[in-house]
Structure 1
Amino acid sequence: MTMINIAVIGCGSIAKHRHLPEYAQNEHVNIVAVCDIVETRVKTMAEQYGAKSYTDYTELLAQEQVDAVSVCLPNALHAPVSIAALDAGAHVLCEKPMATSKEEADQMIEAAKRNGKKLMIGHNQRFVPSHEKAKQLIASGEAGKIYSFRTAFGHGGPEAWSADGAESWFFRKKDAFIGAMGDLGVHKADLLRYILGEEFVDVAGFIANNAKENITVDDNAVCILRSESGVIGTLAASWAYKPQEDNSTIIYGEKATLRLEDDPEHSLIVQYATGEVVKYQLGKIQSNEEGGQSNSHVIDHFIEAIVTDTEPLINGEEGKRSLEIILAAIQSEDNRQMTTVVK
């Protein structure tokens, strides 16, 4: 059996609750090293998973022979650390958003190409069963021509689950680059591209900090998107949805309306123009709340791509296209006008 030696750089909440336990459950994985600047945090994870601990990622990459690396760091570090890992000969799974600029994203993609390594971005919403089913229904023509959509991803904010609580890097622009739009909005931008099977060409963004005090990033954002075929809709991202999170998407088509994660019991409800209603129970979406999806499938997909030498579903190019939507939203807010996504 092929075994993959894994290092996880960054031991905050996403590593603790997703990457490390899911690597540990994968039969092809050896977790050999973990890294975090907080020594007590990294030692706890190292002991739990029988790995070596580091507080300097450059030291880890120099001393350990790893096949692949998860980059679970503040957004501003995604590009430099991913590039360093790729140049060290490791495949990379990087958390989203993949970078803070198109230029950084291009540098990551180039690093993967010149080293012959895989680069995957952790957009987990593509693997949610209701989302996969909706994509199939749309591609088959079941919903007819798609006219519009509305999608939202919001919760009370990262202070409830981030490793550093209210002091989290998520709230600092120099570390995070962008707030709720980078944390949540980019997930939905990627999801809509995937489900609709086309790109967005125009973006109007309204991005604000109007809910939380003493932070330097946005906590509420609403975007209007238009696809290349003319589908229009709204995307909302928020750290001010209380008491429960909203992770829903509704797609309006000629023959049917698809309601994804919009009902507590049925993960997908298809309301046909004929009056027929079909309800699917496909399992829970990944969530920070109790009872959420237990496995993101991101880790298993990444490892499978390495073992079988296939291209990951969300490679660097895919991650960059989703990043470009939130970059266009920022530009739209700054310029107070609609932004065209450059292809």
Structure 2
Amino acid sequence: MKIGIIGCGSITKYRHAPEYDENPYVKEIVFYDRNPERAEALAELFNGSVAQTAEDLFEDESIVAISDCSSNDSHHIFSTKALLSGKHVLTEKPIALTVEDAKEILDAQKKTGKWLMVDHNQRFTKAHQKAKSIIKSGELGNVLTFKTNFGHGGPESWGVNKSNSTWFFKKDRSGYGVAADLGIHKLDLIHYLLNDRINQVSAFQGVLDKVDENGQPIEVCDNIICNLRTEGGKLGTASFSWTYYGEEDNSTTIYFEKGIMKIYQDDQYQIEVLTKDGEKINYEIEAIQTNDNQTNTGVIDAFVDSVRNETEPIVTGQDALESLKVVLAIIESADKNQVVMVK
């Protein structure tokens, strides 16, 4: 199949394009970016071609599916148009910056019947899938509480221009800073692992260290700390940060009636189970992907399989909307200094 990609930043260069290139069912990638030289560079790197406008991608009947790797503020524009032009769509997270914009994409998906998948890639790691299986088995009893973290040194070392002028630091394009960049991944993961939905939050946020290209504090939070409650009554905490300078933290701990599960906290064992009776069970599965250790996420292969086999994606637009709603509630809570119900 022939694939189009909108946006040629780092997420395309290091994840979408290489994984499409390695997929045996993808024969060609067509790149579009508002900076033509970026599209041209990736087309040369991955033996693809360049579209002069996004409309060229939408109008090309030979393109089956499109990855929307534009900045957060543009997803509702490009993804909606791509769906309405008859393309299947893989959208980067967050699905949009508002519920209304997200629903615009979902309405286009329902109208056309094309597949819409959102790149919440933590569902795809083997450790998280194994963790879900253990939880579902009930061998540790019911989940009581949880804590989850996601932090690294910041997007300025990841973005295409490798500087603090990155769009991630701009409120009009990024929206919600680290909450929409890293936090939304872990919120989706909690929904996935627990088969439950977060419905109440409280949070504190701050710009603790990051400055923009002019030396001024950035416009969005670089750290946010949250308390969470699920519909099922489980309690949890979450920390999301762009200022973990020494080492990335992508860990989750779940506390059960009969023990504890630690995920991605040990370099050798990606899951550690400590039972109430003192037994220790270690699972050596795979190292998680980091910005410094790029490996196949499985996202592209899953999306291609959904398109080929006409099966619902693992992460749907509705799943992504639920996580966006939690982010919006977290930001509202931090802004108003009060507990907020997820709407």
Give the alignment's TM-score, normalised by structure 2: 0.96
Hey, what's the Cα distance between the residues in 2 that align with 1:305 and 1:110? 19
- What is residue 130 of structure 2 aligned with on the other side? 133
- What is residue 217 of structure 1 aligned with on the other side? 220
The AA in structure 1 aligned to 2:39 is: V
Q: Is 1:235 aligned with 2:238?
A: yes
Among 105, 109, 114, the alignment partner of 2:106 is 109
Equivalent residue of 2:238, what SS? strand
- What is residue 35 of structure 1 aligned with on the other side? 32
Percent identity of paired positions between Structure 1 and Structure 2: 40
Among 54, 59, 67, the alignment partner of 1:57 is 54
The AA in structure 1 aligned to 2:116 is: L
Q: Which runs of 5+ in 1 are unaligned?
A: none
- What is residue 189 of structure 1 aligned with on the other side? 187
- What is residue 310 of structure 2 aligned with on the other side? 309
| Deviation, structure 1 residue 335 | 1.9
| Deviation, structure 1 residue 207 | 1.8
Q: Is 1:87 aligned with 2:84?
A: yes
| Deviation, structure 1 residue 50 | 2.5
- What is residue 335 of structure 2 aligned with on the other side? 334
Hey, what's the Cα distance between the residues in 1 that align with 2:238 and 2:19? 29
Hey, what's the Cα distance between the residues in 1 that align with 2:57 and 2:303? 21
Q: Is 1:171 aligned with 2:174?
A: no
- Contact 2:267-2:287 within 8 A present in 1 as well: no
- What is residue 21 of structure 1 aligned with on the other side? 18
Equivalent residue of 1:67, what SS? strand
Hey, what's the Cα distance between the residues in 1 that align with 2:72 and 2:27? 26
| Deviation, structure 1 residue 64 | 5.6
Give the alignment's TM-score, normalised by structure 1: 0.96
Hey, what's the Cα distance between the residues in 1 that align with 2:48 and 2:83? 21
- What is residue 278 of structure 1 aligned with on the other side? 281
Among 90, 94, 98, the alignment partner of 1:97 is 94
Hey, what's the Cα distance between the residues in 1 that align with 2:172 and 2:315? 26
The AA in structure 1 aligned to 2:206 is: A
- 1:68-118 residue CA offsets vs partner (Å, 9 max, x unmatched): 000111100111110011111100000001100111111111101101101
| Deviation, structure 1 residue 261 | 0.2
- What is residue 207 of structure 1 aligned with on the other side? 205
Q: Is 1:161 aligned with 2:158?
A: yes
Equivalent residue of 1:245, what SS? coil
Among 48, 67, 70, the alignment partner of 1:70 is 67
Equivalent residue of 2:27, what SS? strand
The AA in structure 2 aligned to 1:174 is: D
- CA RMSD between the two structures: 1.1
Among 280, 288, 294, the alignment partner of 2:291 is 288
- Contact 1:266-1:282 within 8 A present in 2 as well: yes
The AA in structure 2 aligned to 1:148 is: T
Aligned length: 337
- 1:295-333 residue CA offsets vs partner (Å, 9 max, x unmatched): 100000001011110100101001101111101101111
- 1:213-250 residue CA offsets vs partner (Å, 9 max, x unmatched): 23111100011110111111111110000111100000
Hey, what's the Cα distance between the residues in 2 that align with 1:272 and 1:99? 40
